[in-house]
Amino acid sequence: MSRSSALARLAAAYAAHEVRRRSGRGGGRTTASAFETRYARDGLRPLTADERGGLPAMSGCINCGLCALVAGRPGGVRPADLATAYLRDYPLLAAAASDLGPGASMEAAAAACPVGVPLAEVSAAVRRLSG
């Protein structure tokens, strides 16, 4: 198929699209929640506005380990692991939910963090996305 033929077919499709739209027979709009439901099986859940805004700070862990000294390793997972390993691959978090033990004192861990990673928010985001 030549380029002119491809463009002609696209033009015809565009004309048909416009006729449908102007006659009110165009495709409907999807909502974010319907879209989320459609891709829930693939683990493709959107970040919330708060998570989006906080993600740069939540990504700043330097893995020094101070947080683990303060908060321990609930369920074998260090607070730093939540930031460096878990808050990366969101679609896999459901499969890894069994790693997440009872909540530790993330506020205390965050207070010990020398680079200001908001570990309580990290923990909340990981738990929401794994649910």
Partner 1 sequence: MSAPSNHDVIVIGGGVTGAGVARDLALRGVSVLLLEKGDWGAGTSGASSWMIHGGPRYLEFDWDTTRLSCEDAGHIVRIARHLVHRCVFLLPVLPGDRHGLERLETAMEVYDRFQPLKLAQPHARLDATQARLLEPGLAPDVLGVVTMEEWGVDPHRLVWANVLDAVRHGARAANHSRVTGLIRAAGAVIGVNYQAADGTRVEARARVVVNAAGPWVPEVAAMADAQVRLRPAKGIHLVYDRRLSNFAISGESIDGRDLLLVPHGPITVVGTTDDDFYGDLDDVGVAEDEVSYLLQGMARVFPAIRDHRPVRATAGVRPTLFAWRRYEDDLSRRFQVLDHGSGLVTIAGGKLSMYRLMAEQTADVACARLGVEARSSSSSRPLPGAEAELADPAELAREHHLPALAVARLQARHGGEAPDLLRESGARGRLVCRCEPLAEAELVHAARHEQVRTLADGFRRVGLAAGPCAGAACVERAAAILGRELDWSDSQRRQAVGEFLAGAWRGRAALLGQSGWAQEELAYGARRGWPTS
Shortest Å, Cβ 88 to partner 1:
4
Residue of 37, 63, 69, 115 interacting with partner 1 (CB under 8 A): 63
Residue 128 C-beta: closest distance to partner 1, Å: 12
* CB burial of residue 46 (10 Å; 0-12, 13-18, 19+): middle
Q: Which of 19, 21, 115, 131 binds partner 1 (CB under 8 A)?
A: 21
Residues 82 and 119: beta-carbon distance below 8 Å: yes
Of 36, 96, 90, the C-alpha closest to 58 is 90
70 binds partner 1 (CB under 8 A): no
Q: What is the dihedral of CA 34, 97, 127, 113, to 10 degrees?
A: -140
Structure tokens at 65: 């380990």
Contact residues for partner 1, defined by CB under 8 A: 1, 3, 6-7, 9-10, 13-14, 17-18, 21, 27, 29-32, 35-36, 38-39, 42-49, 52-53, 55-56, 59, 61, 63, 76-78, 80-81, 84-93, 95-99
